[in-house]
Structure 1
Amino acid sequence: MSPTAQVSPTLTKVTRRAVFPFTAIVGQEEMKLALLLNVIDPKIGGVMIMGDRGTGKSTTIRALADLLPEIEVIADDPFNSHPSDPELMSDEARDRRDRDEELPVMRRKVQMIDLPLGATEDRVCGTIDIEKALSEGVKAFEPGLLAKANRGILYVDEVNLLDDHLVDVLLDSAASGWNTVEREGISIRHPARFVLVGSGNPEEGELRPQLLDRFGMHAEIRTVKDPQLRVKIVEERSEFDQNPADYLERHHSEQEGLQNKIVEAQNLLPSVKIDYELRVQISQVCSELDVDGLRGDLVTNRAAKAIAALEGRTEVTVDDIRRVVTLCLRHRLRKDPLESIDSGYKVQKVFASVFGVELSEESQG
């Protein structure tokens, strides 16, 4: 998801399997906002989406991947390496560039990789063929899912049921941007810059707090209760299933508009500033909520800048912080089994106190 990516011409016609358009998804604003902000700034650290079954989690994530503009990649590189940015190149691609080799370039849709629940570490990280390495003297590497997900989206459904060790591996790669595979004294690494999206149902168990804290944002989604809104969701889905091509054509201009907005936001992000006073107040909120570590401060600052960029501004406002602070901090609070207050409400209450603003009606509701 390079800031230099151009708007894709493939939106003008349906050339691939039809995917429900992102702009047609009704409700679930919190989840949609968290995903958009991570696409604008992948360094936010991914999204954990917890909610009821059948609330459109997978549909929304696939829709986002389909919406994103095409990216330039080195055609014969298995890691989707960027043709000119060394930070997004594999070591092999960088060596080829340093030798002034001509690198074939192609455009490709942003990949969304599904991580199966029963995946092994070899399947995720890749494997080294020791026999070939010893007999032929080459680093024979079979890329895994992390290689395919580079510069894309890695989606883990039911992440709370995934082996803790694998979750650690995913989070380490997402944080460092690199995946390293070592075996029998041979080490291979490749770029693994991806937006990590996990989803799950709280009824099936929670993630350990130290793992949950590593996700940049945490969105909670609930089944829609309003009967009229439920009818609208069902009707929209039925229309899409009956005639995907017509449905996509009707939403083409909205999709193109949002795609342009994302590209502009990615380009604008480096110019966005946040006042020192606001940064101090963000850290005060984290301190009063007794948030461990500094991840909460960092992620809230990044997310506030990303939302300002999304709206075409270069200055972060108090309202920008209000809209992201719950997403960034609710999962970092220490759990008190005797406390009945909702973690999101608690974050908004402390935010309102520190920033000297009124608690919004939405938060009180």
Structure 2
Amino acid sequence: MTNAAATRPALPLAFPFTALVGQAELQRALLLAAIDPALGGVLVCGPRGTAKSTAARALAALLPHGAFVTLPLGASEEKLIGTLDLEAALRESAVRFAPGLLARAHEGVLYVDEVNLLPDALVDVLLDAAASGINTVERDGVSHTHDARFVLVGTMNPEEGELRPQLLDRFGLLVELATPRDAAERQRIVKARLAFDADPQALCAAFEAQQRALAQRIVAARAALPALPWSDAVHERVAQRCIEAAVDGMRADLVMLRAARALAAYEGAPAVSPEHVDAVAESVLAHRRHAAPEASRRHDQPNANHQDTESNSSADKNEQGGQNDQRDWGELAPEPVAATSVKGVIPLPAKKR
């Protein structure tokens, strides 16, 4: 071991993923994205102090390579995607690619805090790479393509600005966090955090077996993912949920199918079921829904609005005339018209008998 290696500071331990308290929905979304990064990442909305970054770092520790890369708000596009290696160009007169943050995040987690404050162009590039798993750079005389399969985790506080709908739709899953209001849950969260701060090694050792089992489960789910079948019933359930939410386009259908398949793989199921679809639907639709939940439920009764309208219309008509039941639908009630004397009209000849 060299002196430099001996003096290099060790990376800080991450809080164990299995020790997180009160974050079941966020944990499931992160695990689904880890099993299938092509989902497009997870957008986490919530106030400060709700363990968003802690959960993202904890997930990275479960992955085989464990890379955790943070994209700063002031980063340039070149820093994100990579660019020409100027030193090599000047020293060797060679055109060489200098990797960016996307390359560093390969097989790990790319974390973007306050993603809603990034320039739209940068978010667009980020989401493209997250969904495709490939980063292509063509600039400054460089044409380079490399794998960039990573779990994208973006966070935002809605009070500090929104994402454009076009960009919001491209995030695979959305999780909304809130400050816990239950006293017992708050105590459990604080106790776990204080225990980690006091002795990180001891807490990590206490959860080592659970961490190892979960990491192996992710690897097994990734291997099983491509072979999992889904039936027409699953497709029908996905279509129904998306129609009820009045989503735009077909991205929600595709993401919901992939998320349901990832959940089935995580659970070790032999096939994707409609129940898997229902389990992931809300995290897929939360940021894409245009219909209110009440309207979504009424969609299950397509004749309800029509019947209500007819019933109200009939009641109004009965109150007004009491004779509307005898008329055809759409017939108007007769209205009196005042007779007007018109002069100068040529009388018609009388009919011959």
TM-score tier after normalising by the smaller chain length: 0.7 to 0.9
Read off the aligned partner of 1:44 and give its amino acid letter: L
Distance 1:181 1:258, change over 3 A: same
Query: Structure 2 residue aligned with 1:166, among 111, 122, 126?
Result: 122
How many residue pairs are counted as aligned between the two chains?
293
Q: CA deviation at 1:188?
A: 2.1
Distance 1:346 1:237, change over 3 A: farther
Cα gap change, 1:16 to 1:238, in 2 (>3 Å): same
Q: What is the one-letter code of the residue matched to 2:272?
A: V
Structure 1, unaligned runs of 5 or more: 1-14, 71-108, 355-365
How far did residue 353 of structure 1 move? 7.6
Query: How many Å apart are 1:186 and its aligned residue?
Result: 3.4
- Equivalence for 1:362: none
Whole-angstrom distance in 1 between the partners of 2:111 and 2:125: 14
Contact 2:38 2:133 in 1 (8 A): no
AA of the residue aligned to 1:61:
A
* Counterpart for residue 327 of structure 1: 283
1:326–1:347 Cα contact (<8 Å) kept: no
C-alpha offsets along residues 51-105 of structure 1, whole Å, 9 cap, x if unaligned? Answer: 111000000000111122x2xxxxxxxxxxxxxxxxxxxxxxxxxxxxxxxxxxx
Partner of 1:149: 105
Equivalent residues in 2 for 1:99-248 (5 A)?
109-129=65-85, 133=89, 136=92, 138-248=94-204
Instruction: Give deviations 1:296-353, integer Å, cap 9, x for gaps.
Output: 001111111111111111222232111100101111123x8xxxx5xxx569847988
The question of 1:23 aligning with 2:26 is answered: no
Give the Cα separation in 1 of the matches to 2:258 and 2:139: 36
Deviations 1:268-291 (A, max 9, x none): 212222111220221132123221
Bigger shift: 266-275 or 203-212? Answer: 266-275
Tell me whether 202-211 or 172-181 shows the greater mean CA deviation: 172-181
Query: CA separation in 2, counterparts of 1:353 and 1:245?
Result: 56
CA contact (8 A) 2:260 2:272 kept: yes
Report the counterpart of residue 44 of structure 1 in structure 2.
39
Question: Counterpart of 1:24 in structure 2: which amino acid?
Answer: A
Structure 2 CA distance for partners of 1:131 and 1:52, relative to 1, 3 Å: closer
Matched, 1:260 2:216: yes
1:8-59 deviation line (CA, Å, top 9, x unaligned): xxxxxxx752211000100121111100001111111111111111000000
Q: 1:130 and 1:20, CA in 2 relative to 1: closer, same or farther beyond 3 A?
A: closer
Higher Cα Rg: structure 1 or 2?
2
Structure 1 pair 350–209 and aligned structure 2 pair: CA distance change class (3 A): farther
Q: Which runs of 5+ in 2 are unaligned?
A: 1-9, 303-353
Q: Alpha-carbon deviation of 1:184?
A: 4.1
Report the secondary structure of 1:27's partner residue. coil
**Cα shift at 1:293:** 1.3
Per the alignment, do residues 179 and 347 of structure 1 end up closer, same or farther by CA in structure 2, a change over 3 Å counting?
Answer: farther
Q: Which structure has the higher relative contact order (CA within 8 Å, separation 6+)?
A: 1
Return the TM-score normalized by structure 2: 0.77
| d(CA) in 2 for partners of 1:242, 1:349 | 49
Q: CA deviation at 1:193?
A: 1.7
- CA 1:219 to 1:310, structure 2 compared with 1: closer, same or farther past 3 Å? same
Q: 1:278 to 1:138 in 2, by over 3 A?
A: same
* Alpha-carbon separation, structure 2, partners of 1:171 and 1:16: 28
Residue 4 (structure 2) aligns with:
none
Whole-angstrom CA distance in 2 between matches of 1:277 and 1:235: 45
Query: 2:237 aligned to 273, 281, 286, which one?
Result: 281
Query: Given the superposition, is the C-alpha separation of residues 214 and 347 from structure 1 closer, same or farther in structure 2, using an over 3 Å criterion?
Result: farther
Name the amino acid aligned to 2:188: K
RMSD (Å), alpha carbons: 2.3
Distance 1:131 1:22 in 2: 41
Amino acid at match of 1:157: D
State whether structure 2 residue 286 is matched by structure 1 residue 291.
Answer: no
Contact 1:55–1:221 (Cα < 8 Å) also in 2 = yes
The one-letter code of the counterpart of 2:194 is: S
Identity %: 49
Moved more, 180-189 or 254-263: 180-189
Distance in 1, Cα, partners of 2:289 & 2:258: 19
Task: Tell me the amino acid that sits aligned with residue 59 of structure 1.
Answer: T
**What is the CA–CA distance in structure 1 between the aligned matches of 2:211 and 2:117, rounded to whole Å?**
34
> Does the Cα contact within 8 Å between 2:68 and 2:110 map onto a contact in 1?
yes
Instruction: List per-residue Cα deviations over 1:176-227 (Å, max 9, x = no partner).
Output: 2222222244322222221111001111111000000001111111111101
The aligned counterpart of 1:251 is 207
Q: Distance in 1 between matches of 2:87 and 2:226?
A: 46
What corresponds to 2:316 in structure 1?
none
What CA distance in whole angstroms lies between the structure 2 residues aligned with 1:64 and 1:148? 16
CA distance in 1, matches of 2:46, 2:115: 12
